[in-house]
Amino acid sequence: MNTVKRTEKNKIKRAHLYYKYTGFYNFVGQSLKKAIVPIIFAVVALVLLDQFVVDFSDLFTYITQNYAPINILLVFLASESLLGLVPPEIFIAWSDKMPQPILYLSLLAAISYLGGIISYFIGKWIFTIPKVYAYMEGKMKKHLKHIQKWGGFLIVVGALLPIPYSMTSMAAGTINYSFRKYLLFGLLRFVRFYLYAVAIFSLV
């Protein structure tokens, strides 16, 4: 029993040292620093806009009354599959104005998860086309290097933090990262949506 515990502790220690020396913790710290400022700015801007320019509650109510939910969900799927073109927070705010906010929030989280899977397979497809791969390799050079070093941990970070999850998913597909592990780590995408909803629902 003690031998098993020591083995587990050694594994954790070795993993900690590996992530420390390869710069994983520094990468996460830098990502958080880069993300915190835009998030704070966006929240302050939203509050000011809501107070003095446009009533977001009325805006999202108007959207829910004039656009079919399926159309908005399809736009979100396209965004989450293609490099995260539209911030998920906008759609989270929209879900709060729907008749069943938690249901639509859960649909958004599931669609984001599905969008990541589509991005993963886009990455695998890119690998089969030399010219496209050469072009995208240049665009995703940093993500490819990071996911080769850190694998699942980078997927966890991409799922939870406001960094391009679609780009991370594409990189995972490009290097043929284990699809089963990718699906498992990607489930944390649901956690991100529910946590963000707690803050956003109180603002809109």
**Angstrom distances, CA of residue 129 to CA of 136, 154, 168, 171:** 10, 25, 19, 15
Query: Where does residue 83 rank: exposed (0-12), middle (13-18), buried (19+ CB within 10 A)?
Result: middle
CA neighbours within 13 Å on the CB side: how many for 8?
5
Residue range 85-107: average pLDDT? 88
Reduce the DSSP state of residue 150 to 3 states and report it: helix
- The H-or-E segment that residue 109 falls in is helix 101-127
In tens, the pLDDT along 8-48 reads 666 667 765 766 766 666 766 666 666 666 666 666 766 67
How far does Cα 74 stand from its chain's mean position? 17
pTM above 0.85, yes or no: no
